[in-house]
Structure 1
Amino acid sequence: MSHSLWWRCAPQNLAHHQPIRLRRLQKPCAGTFPHVRACIFDLDGLLLNTEDIYSLCANTVLARYSRPPIPWSLKAQLMGVPGSSNGEAFHQWAQLPISREQYKAEQQIEQNKMFPMCEVLPGAKQLLEQLSQAMTEADGRKVRIALASSSVTSNLKLKTSRPDINEMIRLISEKHRILSDHSRMKGKRGKPAPDIFLTALQVINEQLDPSEDEIRREECLVFEDSVPGVEAARRAGMMVVWVPHPELYQHWAARESEVLAGTTGLVKLDGLDQTASPGKTNDGWGEKLGSLEEFEYRKYGIRRHSGDVVGSRIWITNKKDGR
C-alpha cells in the first residue's frame, strides 16, 4: 500500500460543539510518570494501515477530476480531525468541480471496496494482547484498555470485517470503544480537543469494580499517530506515545518536542486554550516511537502477563532497556 497520503473521515465538524472543562493538573517533575493504569488507542494509522487506504481512496477521486494528491502541509491538518476529509480546508485546496455531497459519495464507494483489505500494523496485535492481560507494577491491578477514534461505526465494521482483525479489535471491550459518532460524543468536540479521550476514561471508570479507585487522567497513556491526536491527549492531561507515519515524521521531526507537548497549534479550535491546556516542551510526558513493537512496558510501570519482573519506576529520559 502506498504511503503517499493518509486520510481521515467522520460525519460532522465538531469545532463549535460545547467543550469539556478540565481542572488543572499538578504534574510530576519532568522525566517521571505515575504508573499507568489505562491505555487508550487511536485506530487509523496506529493499529491498522487504514490511513494509507483513506489516502488511496481520496487520491483516486481527486485524480478522476485531474487534481493532484494532497500535499503533506494539508494532510497533517486532516489526520485525526472529525469531518476534515470533506471539510472547508480540503475543499478550498481541492477546488473540485463537484459538490461536497458528490465527493463524499464517491469517496465512500472507494472506501467500501478498500477497507475490508486493510492490514494490522506491526506490533499492534501483540501489544493489545499483552495489555489486555497486563497488571500494574505498583499494586498488581489490571491495566484497562480503550479505543478513542475519529472513525465512525460503519467504517469500523468494514475495517474489522476480516476474522483476524475482528479478533484483534475484540481485545478491547465494545463498551470501551469511543468513536466520533458514539452517543457519548454528542455535543462534544473532536481532536485536537481532549473530549474523546476524557470520554474513554469516563467509560473505563464506570466499568471498574466498586473496590477500585477511579483511574486519574495522569494515570492514562494514549497511543496516537496524528499531530492533532497527540495534542488532544496532552490537553486531556494524559501521557502519550506518538507513532507517526514515516512521511509525516519527515515533516515534523524538527518540531518533535512541540508535537509531544501538544503545542503545535496545527488545527485551531475556538476557545480551546481557555478550557484545556497542552503540556510543556520536554516535560517527559510524551515519547516518539517508530513502531508499536518498540513499546517498553517497564518504563510505564506495566507488568506483562508473560511474567515480567519489574523494578521501580523508570524515567522516560533513560536509555531504552527492555520491552
Structure 2
Amino acid sequence: MTRRRQFLVVSLLAASSLLAGCTGSQGGGDSTIDGLRIMVPAKPGGGWHQTAQALQDVLQREKLATGVQVFNLEGPGGVAGLNKLVGERDDDLLMQMGKVMVAGIINNKSEKTLKDTTPIARLTGESLALVVPAETPYRNLEQFLTAWRADPRGTVITGGYVADVDHILAGLIADRVGIDPAQLTYLPNAGGGESVARLLSGEAKAGISGITEYSEHIKAGKLRAIAVSGSQRSKLMPEVKTLTEQGIGLSYLNWRGVVARPGLSEDAKKRLVDAVTKMHSSAAWKQTLKAKDWDDAFLTGPEFDSYIESEDAAARKVLREIGLVK
C-alpha cells in the first residue's frame, strides 16, 4: 500500500467511526445539578463555545441543571483549559472538547492528555465547510482546485489552530488532489471569526471551519461555500455538494464532547453522565441538533473512553503524514 493510500485510509477510518456506537448509558438519578460550570478552552464564538451554550440552554430548560455558567479560557488546541481542569476539585465542572483537542495535545506536546480527565460524553458530529470569499473568481470547487494546483504555496488556506481539524482536512484534500501536503500554506487562527476576517481581507484564498461558524457569512453573501466534508449535504446549505460528490473520495467529520476533572467518584461521574444522557433524550436537544445541522454522535461509558484512545492513535498517524509532527 502506498504512503498516500495509507494516509487516506487511516483518516477516513477515523472520521467514519463517528457513525458507529452512537448509544449511551441510561441515567437513573433524579437530582438537579446546581451551579454547573462549563469551561470552553477557546475564544468565544467558535464551535466549542456554540456547543457549550447549547448545553447550557437545554440543561436548564429541562431542569437538569440550574445556574449553568459558560466561561472561556483561551489557548492553542485547548491545552490551557486541559491543564486547568486537571488541577480542579469541582465535581460540577465540565470542559468542552473534541477532535480539535486530540490533535492539539499532540501538536503542543502537552504533558497532560485526555487520559488525565474523566470522559463524560461525546455529543455531536459536524461537517466542515470549504469556502472562498464571494468576490473571488472561483465559482466552484473545480476552479479553486485548478488555481491551488497551479500555485500550492501561494494559495493560502485559513482555519483554526495549527494541527486542528481544519488544518488536517486541508492536508487531506491536498493529498487527494495531487498536491504535496508539505506545500500547504496554512494560516491559523484562534477562532472562526478570525478566519472570516482573513478571508474578507484577502489574506487567504480559502477557509475551512464548521458549517455553523461560516453559515451566517454565507447567507449574507460574503463567503461562498464550494464543498462540505461530510458524507451527506448540509441541511443549512443543501445546494452545496459534498467532496465525494465532486470526485474527492473523502468524508471527514469533526466531533465534540465533554469531560470532567480526574479523580471523580463513581457517584459524581454518574450524576454528570445521567444529566447529559437525559438531555440527549429530550425534544429540545433534538431540535438543537436539527437547527445547528449537527449529527447526533452521542456516546458514553467505556465506549467513549476507547473512542478517545482510537482518535489519539489516528491523529498521530495523520499529523505525521502531513509533516506536522515527527
State whether TM-score is above 0.5.
no
- TM-score between both structures, scaled by the size of structure 2: 0.31
Higher RCO structure (Cα 8 Å, ≥6 apart): 2
- TM-score between both structures, scaled by the size of structure 1: 0.31
Question: 1 or 2, which has the higher strand percentage?
Answer: 2
Question: 1 or 2, which has the higher helix percentage?
Answer: 2
